[in-house]
């Protein structure tokens, strides 16, 4: 699994969560979370409800025992969480992961698939125990509140803003969880030498990240992992120097502070400011960091994540990359040459060769919700890509020397099997046939011997040691070849003579290093001069050199060593025998036996309400809002009501969405009254319909079908003949959106791909409207990469038209400074973007807009200010040409309005995780009507389109 993307926890930020609840019924943000075919049930323990689906019974019972054991241990250090905890165990994805949130109730999700041993999160003999310990730490930490803030919870309930620890820097949130995951399990990332190497290498190069870069929003290496690695060892430093009890005191103290202002708690607990403690921490890392190692020959300079190197038949090295410069890719390189991108390849673990083709695994979205692996085949130049499996959850391919048979792994809900399959004929797919399947056992990285008689692979048994094993594919007999009392033994590769195997191991307590062993288990030796880290080895077919993945200050890259002059050091201790595997049911207490069907009504009730203060038509309104969703997200709703003393009735709106099956069903209604002279305007609206999302890794589609009805009533005693009037609109709406536009970590906007959005609005008298009318909009955009790197040429063409009875037909704007982010819009602002012109300057029943931008990055900042919740990423500029026109009867190009100008934008991350773009610009305007001419200044939040 990719180091760059692998993160055990993805804690939803409060603002994102609250907005998604409020808008769920009317936006695509409420996309389906789980495959509708999954039928969830529940096991309850004294503190937990474990939600699981078919095929997970044994794992769920074991998790129930683990949960109570971990909770009892964490009670003694951090204390209990506030409230019962709901844990969702789901086996629909092949990427190991998890997330947790305390609002609107304590909720954890765990992906059942375990990581391979070489993964950053693969240092474990029990994945469920490790990931649960991490996520449960989040719940305990984030659900805490104290002092006057806790008192407010008695009034408002589980209102997100009343959980101050949610608003601490991400390094504090994730660092504590990583620290506890290792303290509670004895495994995890803290004792992982590869993980420790990140801070050690940084401090040796005087590049130790300051507080602001670790707090959230960083794209530079180590990117999102900065919060995990710096935060984890900072908590270890605090616990070691000041005592373990200070961590509990710190979490209690920050839970009493105003959100985003928890830093003074450090001085109170430790007697030193956070800034000084961070400096002490850096000094401590410097004293303990391992000395710099001499690097071997470096073949690539990508940084971030490089993996799965493999020598091809023609001597080139094929490998994969994942970094914030572009889409994950299949690459090749020859020594002394520049790397070449061959094809897009989303994640995946291994690469192999079958004749003049390359075989690899990659992740794809399955059933529109799940990320699963399959096998693919392509030409050596990356062309003619085709599937070898479909829906097989197959990964880690290797091809036998005769080019006919693939050895691979297959992910199951509770294990990862070893399998084989014949390469299918052109145009067909096949299914792997299980060779080895053991409960609680995960196989990874199988490799055929040169003569095709044996398969070497990783094996990790529940509670057992990490092993390299040899398998006879004819008898399925297994023999342990390499194991160790500590550390991992991973990524075996054969030497060309078939007598020895080279593999990576961190058995010495540091980063991975390369070892070799005879096929009879004798002659264990360590390869020297590989630098600070070496893993994922492959040996040239003539045995002349070895290539592997090594570490630099930029992340991971490919390195090589000549084997003819390589130094091997004998290792004295023999491979350690594996201990007895841990019971599938878990140690300690017996697992619960009562199982019930999942009921959304146990979690659907609102857990908080929030006061509402808003300005509407010059008046201040006061009210309240609630919103929630059940644990599985089947039902979501939001409601608010507000009024002022001068209004006879409150304003209100309600929204509900049902997301159990495809499509998503939604309904919303609102009633709004605004003062007008000595009367009022009352607007009532109802919408109902469905959203049908389609998702793949490289593109997404969304289909909308809905009914819309609105009534606007004016009551005004001094308005003459229109003193009392009413307008009714009712009809059906449809929409289709497609996007292949892609944005990467360093992108300043989407920089490749295209998108199109089309809508239709049919208003009908037969449905209750005042007349018949139709409206259609279309918005197409394309993005092309340009000089310099991450520069973009962006073009957009949009048009809208309406026809029918004049009283009910729509008018559209072709002006305004934006933004136009996409999504379904049916109002006057559906397409307008003419920078420097007011939104209402160009209105008519027919409208068209053309936009052309050249966008360039100017300065990559990547800095903040301490723990303040604002982090500046990139300053970038745009020059643009806009043209827009509206008309009634006939189109005349000479009447089009034109704007030419430039923008300056700053990408900022607020609240440690919310990205925003602030834009200021100037345009020179040409307006044939003469109303708007000359220069104009404008501002905007967001990119233009």
Tokens of 590: 């017996």
The 3-state DSSP class for residue 754 equals: strand
> Could you write out the DSSP letters of every residue in 221-280?
TTTTHHHHHHHHHHHHHHHHHH-THHHHHHHHHHTTSPTT--THHHHHHHSS-HHHHHHH
Count other C-beta atoms under 10 Å from residue 246's C-beta: 17
Sheet holding 535-539, edge to edge: 297-298, 555-562, 545-552, 535-539
Yes or no: say if 794 and 945 are a contact pair by the CB < 8 Å rule: yes
With 0-12 CB in 10 A as exposed, 13-18 as middle and 19+ as buried, what is 520?
exposed
The 3-state DSSP class for residue 738 equals: strand
Place of tokens 């969880």: 177
Residues with Cβ within 8 Å of 770's Cβ and at least 6 positions away in sequence, in order, are: 727, 728, 729, 805, 807, 808
How far CA 390 is from CA of 33, 424, 426, 618, 769, in Å, comes to: 21, 12, 14, 59, 49
What's the confidence (pLDDT) of residue 290? 80
Spans of the chain below 50 pLDDT? 1-31, 580
DSSP state at residue 291: P
3-state secondary structure 347-404: CCCCEEEECCEEEEEEEEEECCCEEEEEEEEEECCCCCCEECCCCCCEEEEEECCCCC
Please tell me the distance from the alpha carbon of residue 793 to that of residue 608, in angstroms, as a whole number: 46
> Could you write out the DSSP letters of every residue in 69-94?
HHHHHHHTTT---SS-EEEEEE-S-S
* Predicted structure pTM score: 0.94
Please tell me the distance from the alpha carbon of residue 559 to that of residue 31, in angstroms, as a whole number: 42
What's the confidence (pLDDT) of residue 26? 32
Please tell me the distance from the alpha carbon of residue 627 to that of residue 640, in angstroms, as a whole number: 9
What's the confidence (pLDDT) of residue 105? 96
Alpha helices (H) in 733-814, listed in sequence order: none
Q: Between β-strands 812-813 and 513-518, what pairing exists: parallel, antiparallel or unpaired?
A: unpaired
Count other C-beta atoms under 10 Å from residue 476's C-beta: 12
Residues with Cβ within 8 Å of 140's Cβ and at least 6 positions away in sequence, in order, are: 74, 78, 79, 80, 81
Please tell me the distance from the alpha carbon of residue 649 to that of residue 626, in angstroms, as a whole number: 19
Count other C-beta atoms under 10 Å from residue 789's C-beta: 12
- Half-sphere exposure (CA, 13 Å, Cβ side) for 665? 5
With 0-12 CB in 10 A as exposed, 13-18 as middle and 19+ as buried, what is 594?
exposed
Count other C-beta atoms under 10 Å from residue 294's C-beta: 8
Tokens of 598: 């999942």
What's the confidence (pLDDT) of residue 22? 37
Tokens of 350: 């291994």
Please tell me the distance from the alpha carbon of residue 66 to that of residue 125, in angstroms, as a whole number: 14
DSSP β-bridge partners for residue 321: 306, 329
DSSP state at residue 571: -
With 0-12 CB in 10 A as exposed, 13-18 as middle and 19+ as buried, what is 722?
exposed
**Cα-trace Rg, the chain:** 30
With 0-12 CB in 10 A as exposed, 13-18 as middle and 19+ as buried, what is 239?
middle
With 0-12 CB in 10 A as exposed, 13-18 as middle and 19+ as buried, what is 433?
exposed
DSSP β-bridge partners for residue 378: 358
What's the confidence (pLDDT) of residue 721? 61
**Structure confidence by residue, pLDDT tens digits, 655-690:** 999 999 999 999 999 999 888 777 788 999 999 999
Alpha helices (H) in 516-650, listed in sequence order: none
Please tell me the distance from the alpha carbon of residue 364 to that of residue 416, in angstroms, as a whole number: 18
Please tell me the distance from the alpha carbon of residue 616 to that of residue 620, in angstroms, as a whole number: 6
**Structure confidence by residue, pLDDT tens digits, 871-885:** 999 999 999 999 999
Tokens of 474: 């004819």
How far CA 877 is from CA of 87, 861, 902, 905, 908, in Å, comes to: 46, 14, 7, 6, 15
Of the candidates 351, 441, 366, the one whose C-alpha atom is nearest the C-alpha of residue 396 is 351
How far CA 229 is from CA of 193, 236, 510, 845, in Å, comes to: 11, 11, 15, 57
Tokens of 606: 């609102």
Of the candidates 14, 162, 134, 127, the one whose C-alpha atom is nearest the C-alpha of residue 78 is 134
Please tell me the distance from the alpha carbon of residue 337 to that of residue 333, in angstroms, as a whole number: 6
Please tell me the distance from the alpha carbon of residue 653 to that of residue 604, in angstroms, as a whole number: 19
Please tell me the distance from the alpha carbon of residue 545 to that of residue 527, in angstroms, as a whole number: 12
Yes or no: say if 234 and 175 are a contact pair by the CB < 8 Å rule: yes
Of the candidates 820, 923, 814, 915, the one whose C-alpha atom is nearest the C-alpha of residue 873 is 915
What's the confidence (pLDDT) of residue 614? 87
DSSP β-bridge partners for residue 479: 470
Q: Between β-strands 297-298 and 555-562, what pairing exists: parallel, antiparallel or unpaired?
A: antiparallel
With 0-12 CB in 10 A as exposed, 13-18 as middle and 19+ as buried, what is 312?
middle
Count other C-beta atoms under 10 Å from residue 929's C-beta: 10
Tokens of 339: 């790397």
């Amino acid at each position: 699994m990719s180091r760059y993307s692998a993160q055990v926890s993805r804690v939803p930020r409060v603002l994102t969560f609250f907005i998604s609840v409020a808008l769920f019924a009317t936006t695509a943000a409420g996309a389906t979370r789980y495959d509708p075919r999954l039928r969830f049930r529940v096991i309850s323990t004294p503190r937990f409800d474990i939600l699981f689906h078919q095929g997970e019974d044994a794992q769920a019972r074991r998790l129930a025992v683990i949960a109570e054991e971990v909770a009892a241990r964490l009670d003694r250090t951090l204390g209990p969480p506030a409230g019962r905890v709901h844990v969702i165990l789901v086996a629909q994805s092949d990427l190991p992961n998890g997330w947790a949130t305390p609002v609107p109730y304590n909720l954890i999700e765990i992906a059942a698939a375990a990581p391979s041993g070489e993964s950053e999160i693969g240092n474990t003999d029990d994945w469920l125990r490790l990931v649960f310990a991490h996520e449960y730490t989040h719940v305990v930490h984030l659900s805490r509140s104290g002092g006057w803030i806790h008192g407010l919870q008695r009034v408002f309930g589980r209102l997100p803003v009343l959980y101050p620890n949610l608003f601490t820097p991400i390094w504090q949130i994730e660092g504590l969880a990583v620290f506890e995951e290792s303290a509670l399990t004895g495994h995890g990332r803290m004792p992982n030498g590869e993980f420790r190497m990140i801070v050690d290498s940084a401090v040796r190069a005087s590049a130790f990240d300051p507080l602001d870069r670790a707090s959230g929003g960083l794209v530079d290496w180590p990117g999102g992992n900065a919060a995990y690695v710096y935060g984890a060892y900072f908590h270890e430093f605090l616990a070691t120097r000041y005592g373990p009890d200070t961590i509990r005191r710190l979490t209690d103290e920050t839970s009493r502070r105003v959100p985003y202002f928890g830093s003074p708690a450090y001085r109170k607990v430790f007697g030193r400011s956070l800034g000084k403690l961070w400096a002490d921490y850096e000094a401590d890392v410097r004293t303990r960091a391992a000395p710099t190692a001499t690097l071997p020959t470096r073949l690539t300079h990508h940084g971030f994540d490089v993996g799965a190197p493999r020598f091809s038949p023609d001597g080139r090295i094929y490998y994969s990359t994942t970094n914030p410069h572009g889409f994950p890719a299949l690459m090749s390189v020859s020594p002394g040459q520049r790397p070449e991108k061959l094809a897009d390849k989303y994640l995946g673990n291994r690469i192999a060769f079958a004749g003049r083709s390359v075989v690899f695994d990659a992740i794809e979205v399955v059933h529109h919700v799940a990320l699963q692996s399959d096998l693919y085949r392509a030409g050596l130049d990356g062309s003619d890509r085709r599937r070898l499996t479909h829906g097989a959850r197959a990964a880690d391919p290797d091809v036998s020397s005769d080019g006919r048979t693939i050895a691979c792994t297959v992910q199951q809900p509770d294990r990862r099997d070893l399998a084989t399959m014949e390469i299918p004929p052109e145009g067909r797919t096949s299914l792997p046939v299980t060779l080895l399947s053991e409960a609680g056992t995960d196989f990874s990285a199988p490799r055929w011997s040169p003569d095709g008689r044996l398969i070497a692979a990783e094996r990790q048994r529940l509670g057992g040691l990490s092993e390299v094993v040899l398998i006879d594919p004819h008898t399925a007999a297994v023999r342990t070849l390499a194991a160790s009392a500590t550390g991992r033994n991973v990524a075996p590769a054969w030497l060309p003579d078939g007598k020895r195997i080279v593999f990576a191991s961190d058995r010495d307590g540091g980063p991975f290093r390369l070892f070799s062993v005879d096929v009879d288990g004798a002659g264990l030796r360590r390869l020297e001069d590989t630098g600070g880290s070496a893993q994922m080895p492959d040996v040239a077919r003539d045995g002349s050199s070895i290539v592997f993945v090594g570490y630099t200050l930029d992340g991971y890259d490919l390195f090589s060593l000549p084997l003819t002059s390589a130094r091997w050091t004998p290792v004295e201790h023999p491979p350690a025998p594996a201990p007895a595997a841990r019971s599938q049911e878990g140690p300690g207490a017996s697992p619960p036996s009562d199982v019930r069907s999942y009921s959304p009504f146990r979690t659907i009730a609102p857990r908080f309400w929030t006061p509402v203060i808003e300005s509407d038509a010059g008046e201040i309104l006061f009210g309240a809002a609630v919103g929630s969703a059940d644990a599985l997200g089947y039902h979501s709703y939001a409601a608010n009501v507000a009024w002022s003393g001068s209004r006879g009735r409150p304003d209100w709106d309600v929204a509900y969405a049902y997301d159990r099956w495809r499509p998503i069903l939604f309904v919303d209604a609102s009633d709004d009254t605004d003062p007008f002279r000595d009367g009022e305007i009352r607007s009532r609206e109802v919408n109902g319909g469905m959203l049908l999302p389609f998702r793949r890794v490289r593109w997404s589609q969304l289909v909308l079908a809905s009914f819309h009805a609105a009534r606007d009533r004016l009551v005004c005693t001094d308005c003459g003949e229109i003193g009392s009037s009413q307008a009714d609109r009712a009809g059906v709406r449809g929409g289709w959106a497609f996007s292949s536009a892609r944005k990467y970590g360093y992108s300043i906007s989407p920089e490749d791909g295209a998108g199109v959005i089309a809508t239709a609005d049919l208003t009908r008298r037969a449905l209750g409207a005042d007349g018949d009318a139709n409206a259609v909009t279309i918005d197409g955009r394309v993005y092309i990469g340009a000089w310099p790197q991450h520069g973009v040429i962006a073009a957009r063409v949009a048009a809208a038209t309406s026809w029918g009875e004049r009283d009910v037909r729509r008018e559209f704007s072709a002006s305004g400074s934006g933004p136009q982010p996409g999504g379904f819009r049916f109002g006057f602002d559906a397409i307008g973007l003419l920078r420097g012109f007011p939104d209402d300057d160009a209105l008519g029943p027919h409208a068209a807009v053309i936009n052309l931008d050249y966008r360039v990055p100017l300065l990559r900042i990547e800095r903040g200010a301490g723990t303040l919740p604002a982090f500046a990423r990139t300053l970038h500029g745009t020059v643009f040409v806009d043209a827009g026109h509206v008309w009634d009867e006939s189109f005349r190009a000479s009447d089009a309005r034109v704007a030419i100008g430039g923008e300056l934008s700053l990408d900022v991350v607020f609240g440690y995780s919310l990205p925003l773009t602030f834009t200021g610009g100037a345009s020179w305007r040409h307006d044939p009507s003469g109303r708007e001419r000359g220069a104009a200044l404008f501002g905007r939040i967001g990119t233009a389109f």
